[in-house]
Amino acid sequence: MVKRRDILTGAAAVATGGAVLGVLGKDKAPGSHTPKRSELGAPSISKNRRQFRLATSWPKDFPGLGQMPNYFAQALSEMSEGRLEVKVYAAGELVGALECFDATSTGAADMYHAAEYYWQGKSKGFSFFTAVPMGMTAAELMGWIDHGGGQALWDELSAQFNIKSFQAGNTGHQAGGWFKRQINSLEDFKGLKMRTPGLAGEVMRRLGGSAVAISGGEIYQSLQSGAIDAAEWVGPWNDIALGFYREAPYYYSPGFSEPGASLAIGTNLDVWNSLSSADQAMIQHACAHANAYSLGEYSYRNGLALETLKNDHGIVPVAFNDEIMETVGAVCEDVVRELAASDPMTKRIYDSYLTARNASRGWTEISDGGYIAARKVALDKLY
């Protein structure tokens, strides 16, 4: 189990679900500097060997999120028998956590690993390739991107910034959050101060609460001091390490804001185009490996962590009631629809995304949803 103090030293950088809150819409932090390629040197090329510099948005060795780029790097090295090597840089080691997109775009870095909705300030369309409220599950998102035209739209969007991107990690369904008080009705959201990411923050404001922009490393202290009343992070595996249960004992689900948060590897387009088709294929397959491997890891480790929360700390997850979810769903649809109206490219992405979500959800509900409900009935009395 990762100790909370180990995470707090690095988690202030950024993590899925929103340390980006205070900076969405900005290309870079005030006073920051994205090095040019000439300052860092070109990628190492020797006898068809390549070394790529990959900048991430994650603290070094952060559980789950911080391991995804390592899974990618290892798979690429193994497939190429060591000929293609990736040097992974944690947030702040090469460039800042939220500067890795610009660094990759200009060629100061060869690749990045981050959440695409961090680049919402460049185009609202990027949000759809991570997660949007009441959006697709992890499996549905993979279906749209790989089989429903999503990748082509992503390619078109990213190419505007000299980048080629692929899915390369997924946390699966995230939790609804930790609350200091019970949420029994819509009235309980009024005046609530909650740390929650971008679009979900707008949903919270429309419900009568307020979204507070703080990084991951500040959440526990903010709950402790009363600066916030609730917080959404990732899921049991990452949440338990930060000890939120000590200050906010009501753990709610489902998480409507990030039903299957996808992370991405972005490659400088000039670097990508310089590669052979075989090398490009290996990068794509290494991304697919990181995507599938991390999703399975989150599913397994979240399950273990949830059992620890219940058995060792007395935390019993609570479901938001139907009245709350019905209203939240309507608000989410309004927020995402308004996002889509921001520009023609985003509207095209939204239309494709919405078509895929609505086509997928019927089967998801009777297959995954139906089976899970049936399994609960069958096994609850046995275990």
- Candidates 76, 319, 285, 75; CA nearest to 183 is 319
Give 166's strand partners: 265
Contacts of 321 (CB under 8 A, 6+ apart): 184, 185
- Report whether 105 contacts 34 (CB < 8 A): no
Least confident of 73-82, 183-192, 213-222: 213-222
Q: Judge whether residue 145 has pLDDT over 60.
A: yes
- Candidates 171, 185, 177; CA nearest to 211 is 177
Predicted confidence at residue 213, as pLDDT, reads 81
Averaged pLDDT of the chain: 89
Predicted confidence at residue 52, as pLDDT, reads 98
Helix (H) / strand (E) containing 201: helix 198-206
- Determine the distance from the C-alpha atom of residue 292 to the mean position of all C-alpha atoms in its chain, rounded to a whole number: 14
Q: Judge whether residue 28 has pLDDT over 80.
A: no
Average pLDDT of span 181-206: 94
Type of residue found at 282: M
Least confident of 9-13, 19-23, 94-98, 322-326: 19-23
Cα-flanking dihedrals φ and ψ of residue 246, to 5°? -70, -30
Domain segments of the chain as ranges:
11-171+260-301, 351-383
Contacts of 171 (CB under 8 A, 6+ apart): 16, 64, 65, 234, 235, 258, 260, 261, 263, 294, 295, 298
Average pLDDT of span 172-200: 94
Residue tagged 């480790």 (tokens): 301
Sheet hosting strand 250-253, strand order edge to edge: 210-211, 193-195, 230-231, 177-179, 250-253, 318-319
d(C-alpha 163, C-alpha 270), whole Å: 8
**pLDDT tens digits for 87-137?**
999 999 999 999 999 999 999 999 999 999 999 999 999 999 999 999 999
Type of residue found at 280: Q
Q: Could you give the angle at which helices 344-364 and 322-340 cross, rounded to 10 degrees?
A: 150
Confidence of residue 153 (pLDDT cuts 50, 70, 90): very high
3-state secondary structure (DSSP) of residue 33: coil
DSSP assignment of 137-185, as one string? -HHHHHHHHHHSSHHHHHHHHHHTTTEEEEEEEE--SPP-EEESS---S
Architecture of domain 11-171+260-301: 3-Layer(aba) Sandwich (3.40)
- Report whether 89 contacts 44 (CB < 8 A): no
Q: What is the pTM of this model?
A: 0.86
Q: Judge whether residue 42 has pLDDT over 60.
A: no
